[in-house]
Amino acid sequence: MIYPQANSYRGTKNLSGPWDFKWDPQNLGIKKKWKKGLKGSKRITVPASWNEQFKETRDYLGPAWYQTHFNRDSNSIGRKVFLRFGSVNYMAEVWLNGVRLGSHEGGHLPFVFEVTKHLKKKNNLVVRVEGYLKPDRVPPGNVPPGPLDSFNNNFNPPASFDFFPFCGIQRPVLLFTTPNERIEDLTVTTDISGKNGQVRVDIAASVSLPSTLKVSLEGFGWKMVSEAPLKNGKAAYLLPVPNAKLWGPGSPNLYQLKVELKLAGKTIDQVGLPVGIRTIRVKGSQLLLNNKPIFLKGFGRHEDYPGTGRYLPPAALKKDYANMQWIGANSFRTTHYPYSDEDMVMADRLGFLVIDETPAVGLFFKKDGLARRLKLCRQFTRDMIARDKNHPCVAMWSLANEPHSNRPAAVPFFKNLAQLARNMDKSRPVTLVSYLGTPEKSFKFLDLVCVNRYFGWYSEPCDLNKAIPRLSKDLDAIYRRFKKPLLVTEFGADALPGSHAQPPAMFSEEYQREMISRYLGVIKQKPFVVGAHVWNLSDFKTAQATHRPNGMNYKGVFTRQRKPKLAAFALRKLWNKNT
């Protein structure tokens, strides 16, 4: 999937800003044909969740209606015109000038409609959004409590996952144009041999006449150009890069790829893409980046910010990376859903390795709804890989977080998804993140083992002298069982900002600091552990529950306003070699 771009052949128009907005608690909008235009609406900011933009709607999950107007740009005449939503949570239905363009299910990946034939000089775009929590959606909600299918968290709203089910148009909405005959998609895979790199570019184009492709790759004072005819709309290039500047944490070297489509010698389309030359693979009990062992130091995060909900404003995104760099982290997991395009671009540019995770959190494997959950997980796995496959930052694909895998149906479910991921991308490892550990049977056919551990918090509360030895034995047992590299993908403790206790007590900053430090002490002794991700980078909004004061999860080492707690300083001492 090529991200919209502007050049002599393509254009973009960002529709972000104030939109009209209307609640629809009685669900009257469809019958009353609000698709033709909203009356008596208020103003809302797009992108951002609606929940924290108004005082009365924190827990309202829809339906609600959005509307905006835009003029057709002159440079779109004679081109194809598309409408791209970065993400809408959870269900979206879209009309342009009263004509239904279609609908989309799923809250964290882009979707596109071609609008060429519906465009007028002045246009009215209407979107209906609802975020109902249902057991046969992904992620699920309103799941009947039970030891095999959900944690008995008793959340309100009734999510089967621990983050607030924010709703709305939560990422930018773009109009973009392409030529009628155009480059459809690019797939870049990179390899290394000795000091040299190799960039493979697979290109698909839709053209009606014989044409050629001109491919250029340049960077660091080096450039190469290659031109070849297109056969049946496809072409593949192998570009050798002598003395390649490799991509990785600390050296996010990016080359610039440019692809031109030429008809009778005249360029009719062009796309550009940054390329990071690197390899990532599992070897024995190690994770290798560019054929050298790498240890992933980092965090689980959330796209979460006061007022904007699930939308991270650019300055907040930049601040999160500044905080991770200050601590000395080199990686994160997109917990528990694919993050924004902008986040992935920043990870490429700043050299962070990313465990890219689908929105499959809290999955359960009871028969009812299972086929639909698998269908949705396949859609989200496919869309995530299609969107992110060319980002050098993506180190591996995570198929799920904490599935309730105790039912037998879990193994064929994940076998199906692992196969899909591997068919789409042979260049990256595939994993899932489990709370089970040794009983997680799917680890037998996945490339790495990822486990979340909270001994000393949800068990052995405030008793690290019991919890730490248990952690050590547990990690050894998991490695003995699977003999694969192991990532501790979550560990941590809630710490109310400014809460202190001596001796350390639960919910104090001192206990959070001590628990994280002692976990890292154990992890350091395990050569088969290839990464440690603290839960969480920042405090984040979740649903109301007795174990979530103020509807917040306080396991951040930074507050929701991105201010450091004691644990952040301790982590910096352990991870940032410049301290």
Q: Where does this chain bind ligand GCU (CB under 6 A)?
A: 162, 336, 401-402, 452, 490, 535, 553, 555
CB of 348 to ligand GCU, least distance (A): 25
* Phi, psi dihedral angles at 520 (to 5 degrees): -65, -30
Contact in structure between 189 and 198 (CB atoms under 8 Å): no
State the angle between helix axes of 314-327 and 341-350 in degrees (0 to 180), rounded to the nearest 10: 40
Residue 5 has a CB neighbour count (10 Å cut-off) of 15
Whose CA is closest to 333, among 363, 367, 303, 378? 303
CB of 459 to ligand GCU, least distance (A): 12
Report how far residue 473's alpha carbon sits from residue 465's, in angstroms, rounded to the nearest whole number. 13
CB of 378 to ligand GCU, least distance (A): 22
CB of 89 to ligand GCU, least distance (A): 16
Cβ closest to ligand GCU, residue 20 vs residue 162? 162
CB of 152 to ligand GCU, least distance (A): 13
Cβ closest to ligand GCU, residue 352 vs residue 435? 435
Residue bearing tokens 């190799």: 198
Report how far residue 141's alpha carbon sits from residue 132's, in angstroms, rounded to the nearest whole number. 8
Cβ closest to ligand GCU, residue 143 vs residue 215? 143
Contact in structure between 557 and 565 (CB atoms under 8 Å): yes
Residues 6+ apart with CB under 8 A from 569: none
CB of 533 to ligand GCU, least distance (A): 11
Report how far residue 524's alpha carbon sits from residue 522's, in angstroms, rounded to the nearest whole number. 5
Element (H, E) at 373: helix 370-388
Cα torsion 188, 297, 322, 560: sign: positive
* Phi, psi dihedral angles at 352 (to 5 degrees): -110, 135
Cβ closest to ligand GCU, residue 119 vs residue 534? 534
**H helices of 440-558, where?**
464-482, 509-524
Contact in structure between 22 and 41 (CB atoms under 8 Å): yes
Report how far residue 492's alpha carbon sits from residue 35's, in angstroms, rounded to the nearest whole number. 47
Cβ closest to ligand GCU, residue 22 vs residue 301? 301
- Known catalytic membership, residue 402: yes
CB of 491 to ligand GCU, least distance (A): 9
Report how far residue 434's alpha carbon sits from residue 48's, in angstroms, rounded to the nearest whole number. 30
Cβ closest to ligand GCU, residue 124 vs residue 160? 160
CB of 490 to ligand GCU, least distance (A): 5
Rg (alpha carbons) of the chain, rounded to whole number? 24
Residue bearing tokens 């009812």: 368
Specify the length of the chain in residues. Answer: 579
What is each CA distance from 345 to 22, 83, 144, 188, 275, in whole angstroms?
33, 21, 39, 15, 11
CB of 357 to ligand GCU, least distance (A): 10
List the catalytic residue out of 52, 93, 303, 402.
402
Report how far residue 100's alpha carbon sits from residue 520's, in angstroms, rounded to the nearest whole number. 54
Whose CA is closest to 280, among 261, 259, 294, 268? 294
List the catalytic residue out of 52, 260, 440, 490.
490
Report how far residue 255's alpha carbon sits from residue 199's, in angstroms, rounded to the nearest whole number. 10
Cβ closest to ligand GCU, residue 68 vs residue 452? 452
Cβ closest to ligand GCU, residue 50 vs residue 491? 491
In Å, the largest CA–CA distance within the chain is 78
Cβ closest to ligand GCU, residue 388 vs residue 490? 490
Report how far residue 64's alpha carbon sits from residue 55's, in angstroms, rounded to the nearest whole number. 16
Active site residues: 402, 490
